[in-house]
Amino acid sequence: MLRSKVPSIVAKRKLLGQTDNDENQSFIKCVGSNDDDDVRHNPKRSCNTGRTALISIRNSFTFRPNLKLVDDIIRERQSHDDHIREILNRPFRIPLKNYTGSYRSLGIKLSGPRRPLFDPGAPNALILYEPPPINAQEKLTKKDYQVHVVVDPVLCNVLRPHQREGVKFMWDCVTGVRINDQFGCIMADEMGLGKTLQCITLCWTLLRQGPEARATIDKAVIVAPSSLVKNWYNEINKWLGCRINALAIDGGSKEEIDRKLGSFIQTIGRRCCQPILIISYETFRLHTDILHSGDIGLVICDEGHRLKNQENQTYIALNQIRAKRRVLLSGTPIQNDLLEYFSLVQFVCPGLLGTSAEFRRHYENPILKGRDADATENDRLRGQERLNELIRLVNKIMIRRTSNILSKYLPVKIEQIVCCQLTELQRQIYKEFLNSKELAKVIRDDVKHSTGSRGGGGNASLVAITFLKKLCNSPQLAYDMIMENKEKKRDGKNAADLDFLLKHFPNDFNSLRGRQIEPTLSGKLKILDTLLAYIRHETNDKVVLVSNYTQTLDLFEKLCRARNYRYVRLDGTMSIKKRGKIVETFNDPNSMDFIFMLSSKAGGCGLNLIGANRLVMYDPDWNPANDGQAMARVWRDGQLKQCYIYRLLSTGTIEEKIFQRQTHKRALSTCVIDNAEEEEVERHFSLSELKELFRLELNTKSDTHDKLNCKMCKIIGQQPPADANCTDDLTVWYHCPDKRNLVDQILKRVWDQGITYCMHQKSHIQKDIP
């Protein structure tokens, strides 16, 4: 050791240079001002802390001239806190894309200017009718201008994209927009796509709104198999609650039914207190006299393929109903029987395919003739032509989607790999650990002792890997791990000796433990903190936070408390019922929860967290399937917002190496792994792999990008192919050494807090839903 570095000499020099007294006083002041809570609740404890701190600060001065002190940390935290507070307190800006605010209900007024019932400009509004534009002058002079028809947000907010499309389709059909003077349609979606909800939405809108600023219909009838009557009633209740009172006729005496039906038919206009009648086919047929005695705005026939035969009693009874708007539901595909086809279309849109005789002459005969075994080429072509014509016509009034459409209706997902710079403290500890004799011994021993053909990787290297991963997450976690090992050793247990790293921490670092979060100590944590602040301030998005370690989730909790974010945390021990409850609450757009914390180990398989559309994977998992699972929590059926995935990696560290293994096909083929076997993976490294794993790449913006040998970035302006998506190789992702080409505006703002590189890609190109 150089004489000048000997502690006693250093201490003397220090004493000459400055007075310890000043430093001590400022330290005490600092602790005091940050400890208000403690002083109040536990004066004795705070006293003690003060006293130990005094001694330890002297020690730390004597021995470690270059050391960052706790008050440095606190000072840095304060300036960081100021920055975060500034973000959160900025005056509100024009919301970003994806922002969905609250809507304002506009009531219909009997007098005064016409207004739509709901705000067509509201985010996520489903507009069924858009009136021709009108200027302010006309609005004053013309009293009868048309208004927007906008689906009640209460329903609109629960409709999936394909359901919105379905509702719009049916609306256009029953209001005669699609085909002039025809007011019917066939809704033939497969099971599971929510035909019922789409129909309820249509009914509710027709009962309340119209382009003329009044209800389009005053009552509707739903005819269903008797087994489904109750189901319809419950569904209406579920979605509309007390907004409407449906009349379900499900048995009872003939007199009673007659009385109820009579009053239903006779009341008209706004006086209808039960504007929706749900009735079985059988009961309908038995009471046709009453049901045919009045006009009905809309009739919906569930399991409508019962109406495939024009000759049967039910068909005749229903067809005589005085309702021009008719919707027929059918989950089973309509058979290739042309006559059935004709019957169904004829019920909803009479005359669309001509009379029965015309239909036979124009479509049925030529089509059948073309299919005949001895048909000429000419017959065949003519048959095909007529069939195509028929399909084209029927498709104008029929909508059918299969359940595999759900995936293509998902909004775009942007996946982003974000490399975050280590802090100076992290880098110092990391370097020292890698250069230590202890690590060299770990590698040597493990390789020597391990059995099996694969060679390396054992318990000790597992400890080393865990230590580095925790250090990347936060030096606070690394510190805790050092202390735990120290305690274990003191109790005579077998544990790694990490004490030599303690010198990087101020002696009184312990005073920060447990109580406070120090986002500035960890590169990733600082990015996360800033990211959350911007998301919180500029959007109303919710966030799912995923980490491998429960200790990291503990840190997140502290962060949330420090920033006043409402959060929930899924616990592995939680009962299914409790899980369901917190998930439901979180997904509720009205709930105040901002963050959902999830341990990647606890699974969360099957969890539906569509209330959030941003997900942060704070640390990489060895198993790509785990990360994929996590992302599927938010990007799934029912998600309406664009999704942003942030995969945070500490630049140049073991995290990048883990990520590379994950993306490497080799990783998949050589270690077939499932959820519970991460430790197994970590045990199966060869010596050279271990050495690679334990190398810190210092002079890089992204080790992962370096390893790609990217040709794209060598040519200025070169972009990945437009149709590339995030399941493709990283070589066709967007590579961003700076923030210019980011698509996520939030990440752009966070960049300067220490992001060194970003690679991003989208899931698919968004197709507009008509």
Q: Judged by CB, which is closer to Zn ion: 216, or 704?
A: 704
CB of 416 to Zn ion, least distance (A): 15
The residues near 56 (Cβ < 8 Å, ≥ 6 apart) are 506, 507, 508
728 to 757: interface string for Zn ion, x by CB under 5 A: -------x----------------------
Stretch that binds Zn ion, among 142-150, 395-403, 704-712, 737-745 (CB under 5 A): 704-712
Contact set for Zn ion, span 442-501 (CB under 5 A): none
CA atoms within 13 A on the CB side of 659: 27
Q: Hey, is 121 helix, strand or coil?
A: coil
Q: At 699, list the tokens.
A: 């002079």
Quote the CA–CA distance of 539 and 520 in Å, as a whole number.
Answer: 24
Stretch that binds Zn ion, among 333-341, 625-633, 713-721, 745-753 (CB under 5 A): 713-721
The answer to whether the beta carbons of residues 420 and 190 sit under 8 Å apart is no
Q: Hey, is 429 helix, strand or coil?
A: helix
CB of 414 to Zn ion, least distance (A): 18
Stretch that binds Zn ion, among 16-24, 314-322, 709-717, 721-729 (CB under 5 A): 709-717
Does residue 724 touch Zn ion according to CB under 5 A? no
Q: Judged by CB, which is closer to Zn ion: 264, or 733?
A: 733
Does residue 148 touch Zn ion according to CB under 5 A? no
CB of 719 to Zn ion, least distance (A): 11
DSSP 637-704: TT--S-EEEEEEEETTSHHHHHHHHHHSHHHHHH----GGGHHHHHH---HHHHHHHT----S-S-HH
| Phi-psi region at 732: left, alpha or beta (left = phi > 0; alpha = psi -120 to 50) | alpha
CB of 618 to Zn ion, least distance (A): 25
Q: Judged by CB, which is closer to Zn ion: 391, or 713?
A: 713
CB of 765 to Zn ion, least distance (A): 22
CA atoms within 13 A on the CB side of 508: 25
The answer to whether the beta carbons of residues 35 and 49 sit under 8 Å apart is yes
Quote the CA–CA distance of 72 and 206 in Å, as a whole number.
Answer: 66
Q: Judged by CB, which is closer to Zn ion: 148, or 735?
A: 735
Q: Judged by CB, which is closer to Zn ion: 710, or 743?
A: 710
Enumerate the H helices of 364-436 as residue ranges.
365-371, 377-395, 424-434
CB of 631 to Zn ion, least distance (A): 23
Quote the CA–CA distance of 472 and 547 in Å, as a whole number.
Answer: 12
Q: Judged by CB, which is closer to Zn ion: 641, or 705?
A: 705
Q: Where are the beta strands (DSSP E) in 253-409?
A: 276-280, 298-301, 325-329, 398-399
658 to 697: interface string for Zn ion, x by CB under 5 A: ----------------------------------------
Stretch that binds Zn ion, among 291-299, 456-464, 705-713, 748-756 (CB under 5 A): 705-713
CB of 740 to Zn ion, least distance (A): 14
Q: Judged by CB, which is closer to Zn ion: 326, or 760?
A: 760
Q: Judged by CB, which is closer to Zn ion: 684, or 735?
A: 735
CB of 541 to Zn ion, least distance (A): 29
Stretch that binds Zn ion, among 324-332, 545-553, 599-607, 702-710 (CB under 5 A): 702-710
Q: Judged by CB, which is closer to Zn ion: 554, or 656?
A: 656
Quote the CA–CA distance of 486 and 467 in Å, as a whole number.
Answer: 14
Does residue 710 touch Zn ion according to CB under 5 A? yes
Q: Terminal CA-to-CA distance of the chain, rounded, Å?
A: 76
Count of residues touching Zn ion (by CB under 5 A):
4
Torsion sign, CA atoms 8, 14, 19, 23? negative
Reported as type and span, the H/E element at residue 611 is none
Q: Judged by CB, which is closer to Zn ion: 676, or 713?
A: 713
CB of 711 to Zn ion, least distance (A): 8
Q: Judged by CB, which is closer to Zn ion: 467, or 757?
A: 757
CB of 524 to Zn ion, least distance (A): 22
Q: At 619, list the tokens.
A: 């640390």
Query: For Zn ion, which residue of 6, 273, 713, 769 counts as binding (CB under 5 A)?
Result: 713
CB of 760 to Zn ion, least distance (A): 12
Q: Which residues of the chain form contacts with Zn ion (CB under 5 A)?
A: 710, 712-713, 735
